[in-house]
Amino acid sequence: EPEVTQTPSHQVTQMGQEVILRCVPISNHLYFYWYRQILGQKVEFLVSFYNNEISEKSEIFDDQFSVERPDGSNFTLKIRSTKLEDSAMYFCASSENTNQETQYFGPGTRLLVL
């Protein structure tokens, strides 16, 4: 069964450093998303991406965040200058073109900013 994959599973970084989180969405899906979950809190929407551009972004997704689809399979989230409060689980998700509500999530990347 096709699934969303994410790398790395864990990332530890120093405050102020740049990190890139990587995702490989399900191959025939056209919408891609990033969410985050701070420990003990709700899963929160960050950004959606379609046709090589951002469709929607939340108030969390400020100038330090960016997304990219550098090739036909990868989808990345970059955090330019990490802050302590960026520590969270980051989930990538994807959906088919006509079913944006049915999103399939990857296993997540646990980011710890020290």
Interface ranges with other proteins (CB under 8 A) = 4, 6, 31, 33, 35, 41-45, 48, 55-56, 58, 89, 91, 95, 100-108, 110
- Which helix (H) or strand (E) covers residue 95, if one does? strand 88-95
Any idea of the CA torsion for 71, 81, 44, 108, to the nearest 10 degrees?
50
CA distances from 102 to 33, 66, 107 (A): 12, 24, 16
Closest separation in Å from C-beta 68 to other proteins: 19
Closer residue to other proteins, CB minimum distance, 22 or 44: 44
State the nearest-atom distance from the C-beta of 17 to other proteins, in Å. 23
Give min distance, CB of 104 to other proteins, in A. Answer: 6
DSSP 17-71: --EEEEEE--TT--EEEEEEE-TTS-EEEEEEEETTEEEEE-TT--TTEEEE--S
> Could you tell me the smallest distance in angstroms from the CB atom of residue 49 to other proteins?
10
β-bridge mates for residue 91, sequence order: 35
Q: CB-wise, 19 or 92, nearer to other proteins?
A: 92
The residue among 14 and 62 lying less far from other proteins, judged by its C-beta, is 62
Report the residue number, 5 or 18, with the smaller CB distance to other proteins: 5
